[in-house]
Structure 1
C-alpha cells in the first residue's frame, strides 16, 4: 500500500456470483493490497468456492457479507438470484461510499439480463449509480492506453440516440471529459467531440445534428468555460489521431459503440470504466461476466488492477483539491 499517505479504503463488489468477478478478485488481490485497503462487498463463501475450485488463496480482509447470495455459485449460469445479489452489492457499496464508510468503489461485472430477472430494472451500473446518488449528470468514461472516451448516451438502442442528443447533455459530457482528464493527472486536457453522422454529415448531406446540436453545444461550452474543444470530428479518423498520442486526450462520443469499439481495440481486458459526475469515486473493469469461461481459471485480472490504480489516483487528486477537480 502507498506509504506517503493514509491508504484509502475501497469497496469491491464481487459482481455476478456465477461470472468471472470472484475469480478476477482472487487473482488481483495481492496487487490490490499494494494500492489500497480492500473491503469486499459480497459473500466470503463465494470466494471460498472459487478458491477451492481454482486453487486460489482466499484473502483475509474486511468483508461486508450481507448474505445476499447464500448459496453455492453455478459458474456460467444465468440466474435471477445471482443477478439480484450482484445488484444489492452495488447498492450496498454506493450507500457505504455516500456515508463515508469507504472512500470509493470498484465494481466487478454484473449481467444486465440477470439483474432484470432479479427485479432490478436497470440498463447497467451507470443508471444504478445515478439513482442511488441522486445524480442525473453522470457519464461513462472509458480508458485504455491513449484512447479515452466519454459517452453522451450509454445503454440505449441506436435508433433512440438522435432524439436523446441535446445541448445540455452534450455539454455535461464535455464537462465530465475535462474533469475526468484533470482527475487522472492531465492538467490541460485536449478534448475532441465526435460527430454523430459519417464525415460529420458533410455539410448537412448525411444529417443535421452536427450543425443544429453538436456544434452549438461545443461553442456554448467553450465560451462559458474558456476552453478550446475540437469538433465535431468524424469518428473514423479521430481515433487514429488520438492513438498517435499527440493531438487529443479524450473524445466525447455520441453513443455507446462509437466509443467502446476503439477502447476495446486499444486494450480489451485491460481498460477501465470510470463514472464521472458522481459525488463518489467509482471505477470498474472493462469486461462483462464472461459466463463462457466462468469457473475455468481463464479470466484475466489486468483490468481490475488498473481500475483500482485509477480509483486511487482520482481519490488522491480529490484529497489534494478538497474534493474538487
Structure 2
C-alpha cells in the first residue's frame, strides 16, 4: 500500500528546528521496530531530519509521504519545508524557527482531521520564537485548541507514579486564581474522568487539590476552597463521580503517588508540574484533553544549549510515543 493513502498511528511534529526536536525524533525512530516505524510519520523538512540523522550517525531514509511505500524501511515525511533563502540558526530564537514549528503542528492537525493519522506527538517548540513569528499562543495546547476550534482544552501530565490535570496552565498566578471557578473545575474533572476511562481505568478516582494553604484553613487564608472548589466537588459526587476534595496541596500529591488516587486536578501550572517532574522528570508525558483530536508531547523544552551536538536524550520522546500508541489503539478500534 502506498504511504499516501494509508492511515498512520502517529504523526510526529519536528518542533523548533533550532532545538533538539529533530535529534530526539531520530533517536526515537532508531529505537522503533520496523513495524512501529512503518506506522509512524514525521512532519517537517526532510533536509532537517536528514541532517539530524547524520549528526547521530543514524541510518534513516526519509521519504516524502507521496513517494513512500509500505514495507520499504523508509520513514514517511509530511513535508513542511523551510522557505528558500531562509536561514534558521542552531540553538537560537528566530521567527523562522517559530513559523516552522507552527506550520508543522498545523499540518499534523490536518493529517488527523483528514483521517491520515490517529494521534499527534509533538517535539518541543519555543514560545518566544513562536511569538516572534506572529503566532501568539501560550504553547501547543492553546494552539491546538485554536486550530481545531475547541472551546477549551486541558493539560494532563501523565506518569506511572503520578498524573495531574490542570485547571489553568500558562497564565500568571493572579490570572490562575481568577480562573478557579465551579464550571472550570467541573469541566476539568469531566475531561480527566473520560480520559481515564478511555485508558482502561474502570472507576477513576480523582482528587481535587485546594488552592490556598491548607485549603484556606476555614477562610483564614482565603475562601476560594470553601466558596468555589468544595461546592464543585460535591456537585460532581452527586452525579456519581469518585472525586475527593478539596485536599490540601501539601498532602494530595503524596497520597496520589502512593496509589490512593488515579489523578490529581491541580489548580494552576506549578502546583501540578512540580510534583510530577520531581517524581518522573524523564518519563512524564504531556497530553492534551478536551480537543477533537488526540495529542501527546514531551514534557521538556527545546534545550538550545545542547541542540545539534548529538547529546539530546530521547527518553521522554519515547514515553510520549508509547502513550500515543496506546491512544491510537483505541482510536483505531
Contact 2:88 2:94 in 1 (8 A): no
Q: Distance in 1 between matches of 2:237 and 2:306?
A: 46
Structure 2 spans left out of the alignment, 5+ residues: 1-5, 62-73
TM-align CA RMSD: 1.7
Aligned to 1:289: 302
Report how far residue 221 of structure 1 moved.
2.0
Aligned to 1:109: 124
Aligned to 2:70: none
1:303-318 superposed matches below 5 A: 303-318=316-331
Aligned to 1:38: 40
Report how far residue 74 of structure 1 moved.
2.9
Q: Secondary structure at the match of 1:182?
A: helix
TM-score normalised by length of structure 2:
0.89
Q: Select 1:273's aligned residue among 286, 300, 323.
A: 286
Q: Select 1:233's aligned residue among 244, 247, 255.
A: 247
Aligned to 1:252: 265
Shift in alpha-carbon separation, 1:195–1:35, aligned structure 2, 3 A: farther
Structure 1 spans left out of the alignment, 5+ residues: 1-5, 321-325
Report how far residue 31 of structure 1 moved.
3.4
Deviation per CA, 1:77-105: give whole Å up to 9, x if none.
11110011101101111121112121121
Deviation per CA, 1:253-291: give whole Å up to 9, x if none.
110011111111111122101111111111111111011
Q: Secondary structure at the match of 1:196?
A: coil
Q: Distance in 1 between matches of 2:79 and 2:155?
A: 28
Q: Secondary structure at the match of 1:140?
A: strand
Q: Distance in 2 between matches of 1:74 and 1:24?
A: 18
Deviates more, 1:202-211 or 1:57-66: 57-66
Shift in alpha-carbon separation, 1:284–1:243, aligned structure 2, 3 A: same
Report how far residue 11 of structure 1 moved.
0.9
Contact 1:151 1:256 in 2 (8 A): yes
Aligned to 2:233: 218
Shift in alpha-carbon separation, 1:263–1:69, aligned structure 2, 3 A: farther
Aligned residues: 313
Report how far residue 7 of structure 1 moved.
8.1
Contact 2:204 2:242 in 1 (8 A): no
1:1-325 superposed matches below 5 A: 8-33=8-33, 34-35=35-36, 37-59=39-61, 60-68=74-82, 73-224=88-239, 226-245=240-259, 247-320=260-333
Q: Distance in 1 between matches of 2:151 and 2:163?
A: 22
TM-score normalised by length of structure 1:
0.91
